[in-house]
Amino acid sequence: MKIFMFISSLVLITLVTIGCESRTSCDVYSREQAQRAFSVDEGRVIYVRPVEIEGSATGLGAVAGGAMGFVVGSAIGSGSGRNVATVAGAIAGAATGAVVEEKATHRAGLEITVQLDNGQVLAIVQAADKEFDVGDRVRVLRRLDGSARVVQ
């Protein structure tokens, strides 16, 4: 039974971290962005540099890790020793789960600087899932909330 709970906890933490993946790609739209208007400006890429986009920390990784640590800790020792191991396992699991969630959702990004045809210069950070080179003609899609993305 305890091995089943341990495996279930591992599956849960994996699903949580996959479900929390950040959507910073120029090709991925959230439900909130679908069927919403973007203003479109055209321009030319004048600078591209690699950056890192930090992972998310929703707390779900900590909860799943804590549950897994609880299960593992409760399988150690007996009596008051088991209680200490259970608490220590839950705390260590929560800390580990938070780190796993952040690392699993961490991704490579690009800071793309675009000079629009109207002369304005914008720098936009997004996932490094498409290549952009200096001189590329691109479109910049912008929303009133300040979000933007560069597309070719």
pLDDT of 17 reads 47
Output the six-digit token pair for 1: 């039974």
Q: Quick one: 11 and 67 in the same domain?
A: yes
The better pLDDT of the pair 2, 25 is held by 25
Q: Quick one: 64 and 41 in the same domain?
A: no
Q: Quick one: 69 and 131 in the same domain?
A: no
Burial class (CB in 10 A: 0-12, 13-18, 19+), 115: middle
HSE-CB of 1 using CA atoms within 13 angstroms: 2
Q: Do the strands 121-127 and 148-151 form a parallel or antiparallel pair, or are they unpaired?
A: unpaired
Structural domain count, the chain: 2
Q: Quick one: 75 and 7 in the same domain?
A: yes
Q: Quick one: 18 and 63 in the same domain?
A: yes
Q: Quick one: 12 and 67 in the same domain?
A: yes
Give the separation between CA 143 and CA 35, rounded to whole angstroms.
12
Please give the residue range of the domain that contains residue 87.
1-23+55-105
pLDDT of 65 reads 79
pLDDT at position 9 over 60: no
Range with the poorest average pLDDT among 47-51, 85-89, 141-145, 147-151:
85-89
Q: Stretch 24-41: mean pLDDT, rounded?
A: 78
The better pLDDT of the pair 3, 59 is held by 59
Please indicate, yes or no, if residue 32 is contained in any of the structural domains: no
For helices 60-74 and 79-105, what crossing angle results, to 10°?
Answer: 150
Q: Quick one: 65 and 113 in the same domain?
A: no
pLDDT at position 82 over 90: no
Q: Quick one: 73 and 100 in the same domain?
A: yes
The better pLDDT of the pair 21, 27 is held by 27
Q: Quick one: 19 and 72 in the same domain?
A: yes
Please indicate, yes or no, if residue 139 is contained in any of the structural domains: yes
pLDDT of 22 reads 44
Output the six-digit token pair for 20: 């929390």
Q: Quick one: 67 and 140 in the same domain?
A: no
Q: Order of strands across the sheet with 39-53?
A: 121-127, 107-116, 39-53, 137-142, 148-151
Q: Quick one: 99 and 146 in the same domain?
A: no
Tokens 């597309």 sit at which residue? 151
Q: Quick one: 74 and 7 in the same domain?
A: yes
Q: What is the pLDDT of residues 86-123, one digit of tens each?
A: 777 778 877 877 667 766 777 899 999 999 999 999 99
Please indicate, yes or no, if residue 95 is contained in any of the structural domains: yes
- What is the pLDDT of the chain when averaged over all its residues? 80
pLDDT of 46 reads 98
Please indicate, yes or no, if residue 137 is contained in any of the structural domains: yes
